[in-house]
Structure 1
Amino acid sequence: MEPTRSGWNPHDEPDALIPRVLAERAVSPLYQPIVDLATGTVAGAEALARGPAGSSVEFPDALFAAAARTGLLPLVDQLCAARAIEVARDAPDGAPPLLFVNAEPAALSHPFTPELVDAINSERPYRIVLEFTERALASHPAALLTIASQVHQTDGALALDDVGADPLSLAFLPLVEPEVVKLDMHLLRDPHARHTVETAAVVGAYAERCGAVVLAEGIETEEDLATARALGARWGQGWLFGRPGPLGAVSGLPVHRSARLRSPRPGLHLPSGTPFSVASARHHSRVGDQRTVDGLTEYLLSLASGSGPYTLVLGAYPDPEVGRSWLPRLVPAAGTAAFAGIVGPSLAGPDPRPVRVVPVTGPGDAETALAVVSPQGTAALCVRPGPGGSVDFVLTHDPDLVHAVARMVLWRMGSAAGRGVSPTDHRWDSTVAAAR
């Protein structure tokens, strides 16, 4: 086959093309409509990346696989996002109210390129919705919280994709707190399965509490449309409404002018202070002794053990002795949870799977924090030393407060592991700064 007019040859080695793709900014977005299921009007569009036409990296699977092999995935991903924003911004026929832009997990901890920053900060007639999958939750949780905060600072919104494909997506849902929850398309194909019913119920409860929009993916038939509505979706996406194409094809459809998402909350994902200071500011602290703390710790871990597969257990310990005392009690809870992790001074011995232990260096912090986040039960215990061997502690079941404590521990874990993106303002304790 001959090279295309642009000089891109389908027989070229994909990996060798990535530097040229970046140099020439040779990616083009397609757009697929997102429709309000009640009115049939367009609420937004998802941007889908394509490489140079006629090349061996034209389609996204080949493009991103080659970018990953060459170590350039973050730059390619950000190029695709920048081009999607630019093309929609400059479209002569305008754009829908919301533009969904995908983010690869590996790109989340990489600094934004100047081109992407310029695109985000430019004047545009739509709101950007950053869309990511549960892979980001597992591999870059702390960086994801930082990016989420930055998205809200720029008036953007968040969408969690493929919810229901992995327990992690439902477990991390209350910590990420996205404005849009996208149900995985496989749920539509088996709507009466126990997993589908559980997923729809957990997502529905979250949407009620937080005012989020539930969106069903993969709607191809009228039967799929009815199923999506039964699962609680307000918006939908799929071939029934339109295949990916030029933005003009989407812009020509009737627009849902009142399509709105919850207003951004820039301080939500990275709360300032320490777990104890945040908890005690909202609830009066109590005074007790170590036996009291041990009993409450047992209570939280028993709560975690009985809370099912969508549970997070997150803790920060002040010294190795506390960490070693936790581990035997954490392992049974972690066996049924979606994710269990603790952070603190280094512990001797191997990582006790399934608990993720993240060691920190430098001076330790005196506070202890343990949080359990689950659809069945939510609680957090925050402790600091008091005078004469006593302890001050706060036990809370307030979901918003528990989620704030869990976010602080999660960000600290990512920072200690070198996977966090440094925020611009002060965060929890000197241990974080020492670990960076």
Structure 2
Amino acid sequence: MVKLNALREELGLAPVTPDEDLPTFDGAAAHLACVPASRWRPVYARLLAQELRPHLPAVVELLGDVRTAVDGPQAERAIAGWLAAVTGGQATIRSSWGDTVAQRGSPGEIRMEQRLVYEGRPVGSLHLEADPGWHPLFRLVAELARLARLQSAAAGAARRRVGERQFEALLAGDTTGAPEGGPCVLAALRLDRVLPRAERAREAHIHRLDVLCAVGEGYFHGRDLGCLTTVRGDKALWLWPSQDPEREARGLHTALLNATEEDLRLGVSSPQPGYGEVRAALRQALQALDEVRTPRGLVSFQRLDPLQALLDSPALHALSEQVRGRMRAEDEGGKLEDTLRQYLAHRGSLAELARNLNLHVNTLRYRLRRIEEVLEGELAEPAFVARLYLAFHAAPREGRRAPGSA
């Protein structure tokens, strides 16, 4: 390989002792920090090329062989196969969300990993288990693996654009050309940030959602599930023919978490009998999405408290405020409200409730009559009691998200 003193001589610098090998540009940079890179890099490249000149035909042949793999119909599998065959180890290409895209060969003595990044976002990773001496070739092949991942992403984007049009048609009620069969499930994702108003920031936000659409679409495509996906407003949506709804929803959620460090929330509908019920599925997914309480969390509509939507509704909040307002106007100390809460939660006799409240039973009866007078109803009437129960169990307004926020 190129010697340090040969390089220093070319640059007009005094030799150093001992003489050292410089197999990489980084190695040369460590010894020549005082010299501008624009001076030493061209010299280093020429000296390196001279040493490699006898081997250049073989290098070109070798790299040409792996380069043809990128142009094939299954580029990632071909690249993994080529790298495994040449190194005698095991080569693996993974997606940005962790799925194994291609794997060939047998495990080797050391593990090497290279993240594949394009314009600041991960598109996958290349892994090699082989002799550590293959690391320089591994780094070179990583660039070809990145190109193969980008080609797969481009093919997925073209497929996704076709699916977007079909998805939007289904959401508009047009089932012409809809996939046959069922059931189907819809998932909705929102990032933990409000959709910006400024145009460029808004475009960047939507682009991030589109990238996550691609992640989800890739996850389902890798499992032979024909997913449709689109971005609507501040949400990314997926629709797929479901075989195991809970497992698929968890898998989608995991894929998304692996693909980004951003805080996000995911809501998933219950299985629908067919694609004609897409709008109902969207309503369920959005309701589930609104119930995600933790960053990077998942909620399925099937697991929602059936009364939760009612307890969170504005109409019920208005009823709650009205009931409490009337009672506080008549009883500033809050005795009537506390008595009513205890009454609604109690399942035994009035005598038992009076003992629990440390009251005479006649005092308890008096308070209950006052509650009926203030609220203009009868506690013996089930419908009236039901309204009071819901009013006192409505979720508080504090801490509720504003429309469109995370």
Is the helix fraction higher in 1 or 2?
A: 2
How high is the TM-score relative to the length of structure 2?
Answer: 0.23
Higher relative contact order (CA 8 A, sep 6+): 1
Is the strand fraction higher in 1 or 2?
A: 1
How high is the TM-score relative to the length of structure 1?
Answer: 0.22
- Say which one has the larger Rg: 2
